[in-house]
């Protein structure tokens, strides 16, 4: 195992939490499909199964109608009106089945923006549980996962990213983010394989 593959700052410890971002039907098929979501699903599932009581799944919830959104989000949903709740089948918002069956004990947090940190419930939940480390998986590497990572960094959490349990619609920007984490955020973000994390939790 190379240094790049190891957990630089030691074992995860008992106060680690798995924050799994937007592994929903919404991004597994249809106009917003992330083509390799199904490829990473087994590893995301394995992470969640290893500690379901320490897992929080987020769900991205679009507005009911474009006019319900504010600012640039309204313009965004005017371009993507087919992705508002009035146009989507209800199951589009659901977690993928291997993950949904873990709730409970896993928790679910709904959000209306890229970042889960805009929802006060997340800060409250992590504070109540004494969390000091956040393992972040899910979709997409360069959008909602990025927002989750940066919010966790800003709050001072130890952040661990399983590089093979995140996915994007773009290989180029996915690879660029992994380079960014390793070259610019190496003291705050540990980018390792899911197997390294699973070995710790097991």
Based on the structure, what is the number of domains in the chain?
1
Sign of CA dihedral 125, 128, 132, 135: negative
- The reply to whether 8 falls in a domain is no
Q: Which domain holds residue 173?
A: 16-62+91-201
What average pLDDT does this structure show over 76-85? 97
Q: What whole-number distance in Å separates Cα of residue 187 and Cα of residue 183?
A: 9
The b/e string for 51-67 (b: 16+ C-beta within 10 A; e otherwise) is bbebbbbbbbebbeebe
Angle 28-29-34 (CA atoms, 0-180°, nearest 5)? Answer: 50
Between residues 6 and 31, the one the model is more confident about: 31
Residue 68 lies in a domain: no
Residue 38 lies in a domain: yes
85 located within any domain:
no
Distance of alpha carbon 191 from alpha carbon 186, whole angstroms: 8
**What confidence score (pLDDT) does residue 45 get?**
98
Residue range 88-132, pLDDT digits in tens: 998 999 999 999 999 999 999 999 999 999 999 999 999 999 999
76: in domain: no
Over range 150-174, report the average pLDDT.
96
pLDDT value at 197 more than 90? yes
CATH at residue 38: 3.40.50.850
3-state secondary structure of 46: helix
Q: Is residue 73 part of a domain?
A: no
Nearest to 16 by CA among 157, 165, 149, 142: 157
Average pLDDT, integer, range 149-156: 98
For residues 161 and 133, the answer to whether their CB atoms sit within 8 Å is: no
Tell me the pLDDT tens digit for each residue of 9-65. 999 999 999 999 999 999 999 999 999 999 999 999 999 999 999 999 999 999 999
Predicted local confidence at residue 1, as pLDDT: 38
Check residue 78 and give its pLDDT.
96
In a domain, 82, yes or no: no
Judged against a pLDDT cut of 60, whether residue 4 lies above it is answered with: no
Whether residue 168 is predicted with pLDDT greater than 80 in this model: the reply is yes
pTM above 0.75, yes or no: yes
- 58: nearest Cα among 107, 129, 97: 107
Q: Provide the pLDDT for residue 36.
A: 92
Q: Is the pLDDT of residue 72 over 70?
A: yes
- Confidence band for 202, pLDDT divided at 50, 70 and 90: low
């Amino acid at each position: 195992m190379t240094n790049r593959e190891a957990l630089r700052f030691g074992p995860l410890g008992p106060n680690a939490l798995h924050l799994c971002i937007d592994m929903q039907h919404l991004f597994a098929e249809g106009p917003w499909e992330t083509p390799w979501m199904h490829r990473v699903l087994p590893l995301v599932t394995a992470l969640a199964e290893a500690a379901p009581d320490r897992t929080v799944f987020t769900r991205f919830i679009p507005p009911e109608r474009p006019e319900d959104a504010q600012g640039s989000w309204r313009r965004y949903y005017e371009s993507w009106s087919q992705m508002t709740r009035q146009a989507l089948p209800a199951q589009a918002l659901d977690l993928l089945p291997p993950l949904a069956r873990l709730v409970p004990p896993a928790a679910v947090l709904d959000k209306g923006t890229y970042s889960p940190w805009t929802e006060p419930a997340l800060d409250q939940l992590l504070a109540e549980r004494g969390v000091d480390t956040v393992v972040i998986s899910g979709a997409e590497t360069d959008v909602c996962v990025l927002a989750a990572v940066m919010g966790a960094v800003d709050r001072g959490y130890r952040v661990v990213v399983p590089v093979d349990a995140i996915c994007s619609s773009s290989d180029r920007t996915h690879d660029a983010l992994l380079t960014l984490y390793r070259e610019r955020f190496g003291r705050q973000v540990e980018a390792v394989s899911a197997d390294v994390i699973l070995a710790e939790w097991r």
